[in-house]
Structure formats: C-alpha cells, structure tokens
Amino acid sequence: MLLKILFWSVLFFVSFFSLVDITQTVDTPLLSFDKVLHFAIYSFMNVLLLIAYNKNFSIWFLSLTLFVYGILIEVIQNQTTYRAAELGDILANSFGILIGALIFKIAYRFNKHPF
C-alpha cells in the first residue's frame, strides 16, 4: 500500500511540474539536462509502478500505460501558451520506461520477490 501511495504522489508531482508555467523559474544546471531528467523520472516512475501493481497487471500493460500518460502530458503542454510538446521528451520518457522495465525484470529474475 505504501508503494502505491508513493507512486501516486510521484505521479502528482510530475504532473504538476510538467504543466506549471516555468518561465518564471531560475535556470539551474539540473534543468539544462532536460532529457536526462525525463529519462530518470520516467525510469523511476516505471519501476515504482511495476513494484506497486505487478501482481494485478502485466509489465507491458503498466509500461504502456505510463507511455500513454507521457504522451498525454506532452499534448496538454502543447495546448498551453507557456509550454510546448517535444518529440525529444517523448523519446527520453520512452527510453526511461524501457530501462525501468528492464531493471524490474532483471531484479525479478534474480529474486522472485525482489520488492
């Protein structure tokens, strides 16, 4: 149950910061690595999602659901006046989701109950 709460909290956090106007924020070195940040966040979110819900749904269904979420965020960003959809973000998200699924599969292979 705690992992589900953590996943939904992270999803809320990502949704909020994906849609908020960031033109007023200070540019930090972390933000200059936009695609790396997308990759890391989506990889982490997929691992959390898979740990929390793998008993109810398949790995590929959950990963596809997160992929669709990422595309929806980009579509919504494109509808705002202060954000834009980027193919590079979708690719970074997708690669992060894939690596997150692989991390989960490898951990599960070595230990049937890794989490």
Q: Evaluate whether residue 22 is within a structural domain.
A: no
Residue 44 CA neighbour count, 13 Å, CB half: 14
Q: Evaluate whether residue 74 is within a structural domain.
A: yes
Residue 95 CA to residue 89 CA, distance in Å, equals 10
User: Mean pLDDT of successive 10-residue segments in the chain (115 residues)?
Assistant: 94 94 62 84 98 94 98 96 92 98 92 67
Q: Are 73 and 15 in contact (CB under 8 A)?
A: yes
Residue 85, Cβ density class (10 Å: 0-12 exposed, 13-18 middle, ≥19 buried): middle
pTM here is 0.86
Q: Evaluate whether residue 19 is within a structural domain.
A: no
pLDDT at 18: 92
Q: Evaluate whether residue 51 is within a structural domain.
A: yes
pLDDT at 41: 98
pLDDT at 57: 95
> Which structural domain range is residue 96 located in?
2-6+34-110
Q: Evaluate whether residue 17 is within a structural domain.
A: no
Q: Evaluate whether residue 20 is within a structural domain.
A: no
Residue-wise DSSP of 68-114: HHHHHHHHHHHTSSS----HHHHHHHHHHHHHHHHHHHHHHHH-SS-
pLDDT at 27: 54
Residue whose structure tokens are 């898979």:
50
pLDDT at 115: 62
pLDDT at 74: 96
